[in-house]
Amino acid sequence: MPRSASSLPQAYDALRIVAASDLKAPAVGEALIEVAKIALRFLGGCQRTDLKCDIPGKDYFCFQQAPARSRPINSQLFDAELALQNIEQVFHKHPAQIRQDILQATLYTAAIAYCAVTDLTKTGDQKTPGTYFEIFVGHFVARVYGVNPKNRIQVLNLDLQSELPTDFIFDLGPDKARIHLPIKTSTRERVIQVWAHQRVLDGVYGMGRFRGVLVCLAETNAKPDFGVTEVCLPNQWAIYQMFIAQMHRVYYLDVPLKYAELGKQFPFIPVIRLSNSC
Amino acid sequence: MPRSASSLPQAYDALRIVAASDLKAPAVGEALIEVAKIALRFLGGCQRTDLKCDIPGKDYFCFQQAPARSRPINSQLFDAELALQNIEQVFHKHPAQIRQDILQATLYTAAIAYCAVTDLTKTGDQKTPGTYFEIFVGHFVARVYGVNPKNRIQVLNLDLQSELPTDFIFDLGPDKARIHLPIKTSTRERVIQVWAHQRVLDGVYGMGRFRGVLVCLAETNAKPDFGVTEVCLPNQWAIYQMFIAQMHRVYYLDVPLKYAELGKQFPFIPVIRLSNSC
């Protein structure tokens, strides 16, 4: 029998509260570590089932707690033991001081653990995994930059003045490009919003003032027959990159195969592992 | 007791099948009339409850069949008797031959009737009202133009060639602007997609080749305490119109108050009743 996940909602609520007041604060790191530990211990008691995977070079499994199944989890990246050993240093040290393979596996494992437990224990909850992942990545980036993001910007245009709600915007100081950082567990058809917001920022503040960096978890899709596939629309991304705006980088914790190819051909969208950013 | 809505899913399926093969065909009009009649007769047996409305000059009610409630319905526009009397002429005559107030009320009543019955009888079904409304408006427009829309376009750019899935695109012949016609029951935060797709069309084919026309049902939001409000983001629409692309017109069956104002100030987005288009 899996251990209870009953303390997870409490730990998640505590995380949200500290994150709302100061995202870059060490307390947020501690709260993220706590959530990851509870989630990983719970998953340690759940049944693992291998999935049929048609993606070359990748293997996936899911956790099960009948009748629920978790989202697909990358077998090469998920390592609960390694993550439990290294989660502290990931949120305490500068990421450049951590071995890249350890950083990669720990980030992936800790990020997907909360999502997987939610899949198993709460029906139809798509909101808290998204918020958790946003805090997870937002804190990771804010701590490295030493600055908290904003999520709305002033739009001034002659006699018009208004505010636009945005994804995270990091101001790194004068004469540096600001970072426009949308964070999504997966993109699907909503991703055109990312390029459209970048276009608005380019239009209002001038080209190059905001560097667009999209961070995602994965693009896997579970099929009812225990199969798994990656849902990718690389041609559409290329069209958005050519005709809406230029995204500077796309980071994934689990890089989809077809998006990795986008860095090698026009219009050259670099899609790489988040751990390679450090 | 309300009459059964059991024949509605069948009528909806029949509508989808005829619409998929030839959207402008008279058979689609007949199927739409059939769905509207079944839905309106069902609603005739349901309880009506007035809603508390904070929108000046507007009144709303909902249908109830415990424990379910329908979406808010505009009391000034909904007229089941009028709609049952006039639904045939709306889908048989050219709309310019129909009195505008009759056209307006009949379109609104017939469009929202299917959505309201679905709210009452199917939990969590947001998909079929969206599809129904798309066929409803798509057929109305296709019949007037005498041409069926496409929903993907070729994107050619030097050595790249790919296809972009789009909302409806109507080709009205050489030297005429094509019509880019997204259709949504309501917009909420997803609406930036509409401007972003218009931007791609402008970029690929040149400014003015595609005229962007958005058609929506309403922007009402029901509150748990039997209140109703309109969810509008006019400042954001103005920003999209200035910095992403230009939409030519926005039509509503139930025009939201704050969006109606957008036609009177820069950047001048005309937001008007669909019946005024004819």
Answer yes or no: is pLDDT of A1 > 50. no
Residue in A165, A204, A236 closest to B164 by CB = A236
Task: Provide the pLDDT for residue A49.
Answer: 96
3-state secondary structure of A19: helix
A244/B200 touch (CB, cutoff 8 Å), yes or no: yes
Shortest distance between the Cα of B126 and any Cα of chain A, in A, equals 15
Q: Tell whether ipTM is more than 0.90.
A: no
A196/B200 touch (CB, cutoff 8 Å), yes or no: no
* B49, B70 Cβ separation under 8 angstroms: no
DSSP for B109-123 reads HHHHHHHHHHHHHST
pTM: 0.91
Chain B contact for A236 (CB, 8 A cutoff)? yes
The more confident residue out of A13 and B123 is A13
- The first and second tokens of residue B255, run together, are 């025009």
The per-residue pLDDT for range B227-259, each reduced to its tens digit, is 999 999 999 999 999 999 999 999 999 999 999
Answer yes or no: is pLDDT of B4 > 70. no
The per-residue pLDDT for range B204-221, each reduced to its tens digit, is 999 999 999 999 999 999
Q: Percent of chain A at pLDDT above 70? A: 97
Q: Percent of chain A at pLDDT above 90? A: 85
The per-residue pLDDT for range B48-83, each reduced to its tens digit, is 999 999 899 999 999 999 899 999 999 999 999 999
Task: Provide the pLDDT for residue A2.
Answer: 47
3-state secondary structure of B269: coil
Burial of A134 (0-12, 13-18, 19+ CB in 10 A): buried
The per-residue pLDDT for range B82-124, each reduced to its tens digit, is 999 999 999 999 999 999 999 999 999 999 999 999 999 998 8
Residue in B162, B204, B243 closest to A200 by CB = B243
In chain B, residues 206-235 whose CB comes closer than 8 Å to chain A: 235
Task: Provide the pLDDT for residue B276.
Answer: 86
The per-residue pLDDT for range A74-129, each reduced to its tens digit, is 999 999 999 999 999 999 999 999 999 999 999 999 999 999 999 999 988 889 99
B203/A243 touch (CB, cutoff 8 Å), yes or no: yes
Task: Provide the pLDDT for residue A158.
Answer: 66
Confidence at B141, pLDDT banded by 50, 70, 90: very high
Interface contacts A/B by beta carbons within 8 Å: 74
Length of chain B: 278
B236/A266 touch (CB, cutoff 8 Å), yes or no: no
Task: Please enumerate, as own/partner, the contacts of B219-222 that have beta carbons within 8 Å and a separation of 24 or more.
Answer: B219/B186, B219/B187, B219/B252, B219/B256, B219/B259, B220/B60, B220/B71, B220/B72, B220/B74, B220/B186, B220/B254, B221/B72, B222/B51, B222/B62, B222/B69, B222/B71, B222/B72
Task: Provide the pLDDT for residue B161.
Answer: 74
Distance CA A99, CA A83 (A): 13
3-state secondary structure of A186: coil
Task: Provide the pLDDT for residue B2.
Answer: 47
